[in-house]
Amino acid sequence: MVIAEAMLGFGDKAVEYFRMINPIEHSKTKNSVMKYKVEPYVIPADVYGQGNLAGRGGWTWYTGSSSWMYIAGIKNILGINIEDGYLCLKPAIDREWKDYSVRLKYNNTVYNINVKNSGNINNEVKKVTINGVELKDKKIKLNENAGICEVSVEI
């Protein structure tokens, strides 16, 4: 659901669902910890929904669910996509997010990506600059040895 909502451009719903399944959200109070009963730093394969086990996590350390959680968060919500040697930014965020930053290391190059959301929108990239130079196609050609690059994204 997280990935589907993000792909459709519904960042508010994608972030809401991401928070629902994020294990750390189940460790905010002692009561929620006692109900969840599994590690708050591991993605469970499932969370029980009925009866006396409702809210309890199960099947932790299940690599399939952790990799999908990573893809949903990094690629689909934050919008960090590498396609054919280019960094393409396609966020689907909560419209209330004002900004966020990502540090991406590509071989010997570090991309400091700062995303500003001044229009309270979910997903429309309006402007991309790298080291102060605007990119008309809004795609960043990845370089293996460019040192540190400052990327600014306006949505």
User: Rounded CA gap, 101 and 19, in Å?
Assistant: 18
Q: Is beta strand 127-130 parallel, antiparallel or unpaired with respect to 80-83?
A: unpaired
Per residue in 106-150, pLDDT (tens digit) is: 999 999 999 999 889 988 999 999 999 999 999 999 999 999 999
Lookup: tokens for 88 = 């393409």
CA distance linking residue 14 with residue 10, whole number of Å: 6
Sign of CA dihedral 41, 101, 91, 89: negative
Tell me the pTM: 0.88
pLDDT in tens, 85-117: 999 999 999 999 999 999 999 999 999 999 999
In the structure encoding, which two tokens stand for residue 57, read together? Answer: 């996590």
pLDDT in tens, 34-53: 999 999 888 888 888 889 99
65 burial via Cβ count (<10 Å: 0-12, 13-18, 19+): middle
Both structure tokens of 92: 């689907």
